[in-house]
Structure 1
């Protein structure tokens, strides 16, 4: 059996969590004896790509990239010998719809699966991308059901854009993530958030909570480590400055590898997204939450996840609103987890328990099983491609 993995990401970027996830997905296919072709940003005509980026807004260059990669897929790969194409969805436009139609015309038997990492997603974007790209996406997505056999989602939706879904949990490769070391002895309570910072992460809620309850923050030595950058970083720094929280909030910038591990080793609790309600999302299987689990960290989240139904002692969910986060409740959660217990055993227990559910081969198994069952080896089936 042979498949194609299609993405506009550069999977060589090992500091990118999405690239790591894509490689894990490809490995799952390969471990199931599926021969995989990969079409990613490395197949872009480099000169065309960068000259375009200089002249046009990012939203247009993204659409151009997607179009070029579909052209490569159709022109350079023998689709008659391919049983399925797995597409990680970026923006959708009519060029993509026409490309999907061509793929089905070349090989009507081919299965097309499209992964939508976050749904709904319209409110995630602002500025020119929202003004220009979302209307195009809304028009094009109406046609997806004609050519896409299944949509892969981390939401609870049974159908998306009229297409049946395969619902899975976000998973990670536990072998790639080391358990945090608890040999470091530090005073106080250390929180960590690792993200490409955007307003839907909602970390302003935690900062405002710290500002509101500064006496508790100081008394308990609470420190918030923010790792990453992004468009909300400046506003976060402003909150810290205005409320004189410099001793209790550390901005590390982007970190990965050993430098990131050093910060993880100092921390006691991982802070997942606190503002998903701002983009209309009430349930989300977060990737970052799974990484915190693999590190052995308890989690605080502002959105419903799989952990809500698993009765996990190491998980605490705060209300999905814009109120400042209660520092008192964070401190109480910390003491419930750690008081009178060995931090090393706690970290080990969190990792081992979560691995049963969120190790990548387990979470991605339904996709592999579906393909094994439904992808046919004959070149054509006796049905017409929708017009």
Structure 2
């Protein structure tokens, strides 16, 4: 089968590093499953077709003009493809026209909706009204053209009247290098990597370290490294300053590649999402799996759908707004007997993208028979 993956995501923008890695991981997994797959996305505001940047710089909103470009160059891009997989996060009218054209051409169409229900993100009353009018129209008619919706954060059997395929966020194991670090006798380093938002709950770690430090005599020093940019960064910086924790909270900015690997090689524990309830819950963060793939124990504030929550190196904290109990984290870490290679092996055997994307391919292949 020949498949093309469409994603209106700019892989070179810091705020999209995480999503971009996920998409690349999915495409690699499909190719490993013997599905000949190409990726079309955005790179530095231009269309990127399987690694080749083409066309003029996209106007804003980029996703609309991205989909318009695909329609204009339809024959060249889609001519020999049997299946089209679309990361779908906006009821954009140009994407709707593209989907109609794909169906007319007898392509199999799978939409992935990473967050459902879709949010209205436009500012201003008129823009919101226009968006909602388009939204209602598209929502009502998608079932005429789309075969399946892949969903990673819901238990819906149908979305927009279309059968769902439930998958979980897997990871590209190879892209996550195992850490090369031994336990320190006097310091524990925590690390978080994200497009910083309130629902990550990193404020809970900062306030937890503040409480821990009030009675730190004879205890290990705990330091928290925050990697990434985002709307919540300024609030986290202000909180750290207010609690006088500048020696314990380090903001590293957005990192990727070797620079990110170097940071990980200094770390002891990964910090995943700690406040998903602030976003209504139902999400399936990828960071938990990536930390495990690197051989790090992980702290999380939710039940991960793909990870065995009983593992000693999976440390769940209460799902609330209270400061994290750092004493308990230190105790759990000190009692761990598993090394980074034990943790890595678990990830290799259980958390790959191949296992998730295979659900979609199997569904399509069964329908063909």
Q: Does 1:350 align with 2:343?
A: yes
Deviation per CA, 1:206-242: give whole Å up to 9, x if none. Answer: 2122233432567330111111111111111100111
Q: Does 1:18 align with 2:11?
A: no
CA distance in 2, matches of 1:187, 1:260: 24
Aligned to 1:284: 283
Contact 2:306–2:351 (8 Å) recurs in 1: no
Alignment map for 1:1-387 (pairs within 5 Å): 1-10=1-10, 16-41=17-42, 42-43=46-47, 46-47=55-56, 49=58, 52-53=59-60, 61-72=61-72, 74-79=74-79, 81-107=80-106, 110-120=107-117, 122=119, 132=128, 135=132, 138-139=135-136, 140-157=138-155, 158-183=157-182, 185=184, 187-216=186-215, 219-281=219-281, 283-306=282-305, 310-337=309-336, 341=337, 346-375=339-368
TM-score calculated relative to the size of structure 1: 0.81
TM-score calculated relative to the size of structure 2: 0.85
Kindly tell me: are residues 167 and 34 of structure 1, through their superposed partners in 2, closer, same or farther at Cα, counting changes over 3 Å? Answer: same
- Give 3-state SS (helix, strand or coil) of 1:9's partner: strand
**How many pairs were matched up?**
356
CA distance in 1, matches of 2:122, 2:340: 38
CA distance in 1, matches of 2:215, 2:347: 31
CA distance in 1, matches of 2:113, 2:238: 34
Q: Shift of the alpha carbon at 1:78? A: 4.9
Kindly tell me: are residues 185 and 336 of structure 1, through their superposed partners in 2, closer, same or farther at Cα, counting changes over 3 Å? Answer: closer
Kindly tell me: are residues 119 and 274 of structure 1, through their superposed partners in 2, closer, same or farther at Cα, counting changes over 3 Å? Answer: farther
Mean CA deviation greater in 92-101 or 7-16: 7-16
Contact 1:210–1:217 (8 Å) recurs in 2: no
Kindly tell me: are residues 368 and 73 of structure 1, through their superposed partners in 2, closer, same or farther at Cα, counting changes over 3 Å? Answer: farther
Kindly tell me: are residues 183 and 308 of structure 1, through their superposed partners in 2, closer, same or farther at Cα, counting changes over 3 Å? Answer: closer
Contact 1:217–1:327 (8 Å) recurs in 2: no
Deviation per CA, 1:255-285: give whole Å up to 9, x if none. Answer: 222222222122211110112111111x433
Larger relative strand fraction = 2
Unpaired runs of at least 5, structure 2: 49-53
CA distance in 2, matches of 1:141, 1:216: 56
Mean CA deviation greater in 7-16 or 152-161: 7-16
CA distance in 1, matches of 2:134, 2:318: 31
